[in-house]
Amino acid sequence: MRILVLSNLYPPHGIGGYEERCKDAVDGFRDRGHEVCVLTSTHQVENEGDLVPTENDDHVLRKLWLSWFGDKPEGVGAFAAKLAEDLECLEQVLSEWQPDLVHVWSLGGLSKSLIKLLDSADVPVLFDISDYTLLHELKHDLWFKYWQSEGKSPMDDPAVREQDVLVRHMGAVPDGPASDWVQYATFTSEAVRETYKKGGFAPRWCEVIPCGIPLDLFPVSPLKERQFPPRRLLFVGNIRYDKGTHTALEALGLLVGEFPSLHLSLAGECFSWRYREKLNKLIDRFGLHEHVTYLPSAPRSEMSSVYREHDLVVFPSIWEEPFSLVVLEAMASGVPLVGTLSGGSKEILRDEENSLTFTADSAASCAFAIRRLMQDPGLYRRLCEAGPPLIQEKYSAHDMVQRMEQAILQILDR
């Protein structure tokens, strides 16, 4: 089976768990003997447009323009030229590679007109929906606004019209609700599927396939490595408001007077200087300079040791988290977790069974959960032991890929 994977980001160049999960799927497909080609963006690639092989990624084409980072093209004509280049690239790969199926992952920062081109191609398209990009970004896509403006757009200039002719010729102009183009989809959680359903997405075929992680990367750390009472707290993920990093800091501030040995490590990137400033003010306010460490970014292959060096993971997400890999990684490693029930998290977290849960954006509630674990050795031990068997049984990357493969075969048989 020949599978073309389309994704905005792909390791080792990425910013989060979505692209890691994409690579897990690609590796799994290839291990099963399928031919896979990945078409992704030039993010963090010096020679734009080149095939950039690193170790074992000669199947990866890094050619598409990602609008999230770097310099923006000057002028609307330059934007149109970028779009035309990406559409030509996708059309060329489809023509030369002749895939049996296109597997679309996150399109955040890519032109959504790529979806329309796929819709007109004679090949089944399966969307892996593990974020809300299709639901929200489509409403703000630059080109959708332009083409739906009925000639009233200020971008209607000769430079744009020249590219517009090409784009229309390629069949990439929106002519109906974008939700109509998604015929086959897998959702990472029931919460995500329900959100899309409310947004008007009704695929002809869909299934929920939860995230899985490579178990070999996150072995269980012996209980003897955990300290009781737990004092080494860990936050993992992008450091931003909707991830609730400030909640973890404020909870620490409420606890250090009672437990002066507590320490919080923040493992992740902060892309907003304003939010970093907010966190620094919280550190000043609570006097946490000796209690907080910003850890440098670590590749996924090294995250196991980061988990092993901590006693408790704090997962304070505020937004409707699709399905967090951090939850799976912490549980697989045998590190107890306190977390919120946002989005897909409620489908795995069970209060007092495999975690302690608290109210989102509530430092007091977070502090209460941490305090409980610090004062109850039996509960702490029980949560240490509850995670690994659950992840091994239900949330391995092997099982995830197997279910994806079965979904693809069902679609090809239709």
Is the pLDDT confidence value at 308 over 70?
yes
Q: What is the mean pLDDT of the chain?
A: 87
Q: What is the pLDDT of residue 312?
A: 97
Going by pLDDT thresholds of 50, 70 and 90, the confidence category of residue 97 is very high
Going by pLDDT thresholds of 50, 70 and 90, the confidence category of residue 53 is very low
- Region 14-30: mean pLDDT is 91
- Region 237-252: mean pLDDT is 96
User: Which of 42-51, 146-155, 182-191 has the least mean pLDDT?
Assistant: 146-155
What is the helix (H) or strand (E) element at residue 313, kind and residue range?
strand 312-315
Going by pLDDT thresholds of 50, 70 and 90, the confidence category of residue 150 is very low
Going by pLDDT thresholds of 50, 70 and 90, the confidence category of residue 228 is confident
Q: What is the pLDDT of residue 294?
A: 96
In 326-392, beta strands by DSSP E: 337-339, 356-357
Q: Which two tokens stand for residue 344?
A: 């897909």
- 348 residue type, one letter: I
| Selection from 64, 23, 58, 60 nearest residue 42 by Cα | 64
Three-class DSSP category at 55: coil
Is the pLDDT confidence value at 109 over 50?
yes
Going by pLDDT thresholds of 50, 70 and 90, the confidence category of residue 281 is very high
Residues forming CATH 3.40.50.2000 domain(s) in the chain: 2-212+397-412, 215-394
Q: What is the pLDDT of residue 178?
A: 58
Residue 345 · residue 371 · CB < 8 Å: no
Is the pLDDT confidence value at 371 over 50?
yes
Q: How far apart are CA 378 and CA 208, in angstroms?
A: 35
**Record: fold of 2-212+397-412:** Rossmann fold (3.40.50)
Q: Which of 78-87, 110-119, 166-175, 257-266 has the highest mean pLDDT?
A: 257-266
Phi, psi dihedrals of residue 389, rounded to the nearest 5°:
-65, -30
User: Which of 138-147, 195-204, 402-411 has the least mean pLDDT?
Assistant: 138-147
- Region 40-44: mean pLDDT is 88
User: Which of 148-157, 234-243, 251-260 has the least mean pLDDT?
Assistant: 148-157
**Taking each helix axis from N to C terminus, what angle separates 363-375 and 377-394, rounded to the nearest 10 degrees?**
100
Is the pLDDT confidence value at 330 over 80?
yes
- Provide, rounded to the nearest whole percent, the portion of the chain with pLDDT above 70: 84
The CATH number of 215-394 is 3.40.50.2000
C-alpha 44: how far from chain center: 18
Q: How far apart are CA 14 and CA 237, in angstroms?
A: 13
pTM above threshold 0.85: yes
Is the pLDDT confidence value at 15 over 90?
no
User: Which of 19-23, 106-110, 151-155, 195-199 has the least mean pLDDT?
Assistant: 151-155
Q: What is the pLDDT of residue 224?
A: 64
Going by pLDDT thresholds of 50, 70 and 90, the confidence category of residue 49 is very low
Q: Which two tokens stand for residue 312?
A: 């408790």
User: Which of the two residues, 58 and 347, has the higher pLDDT score?
Assistant: 347
- Provide, rounded to the nearest whole percent, the portion of the chain with pLDDT above 90: 66
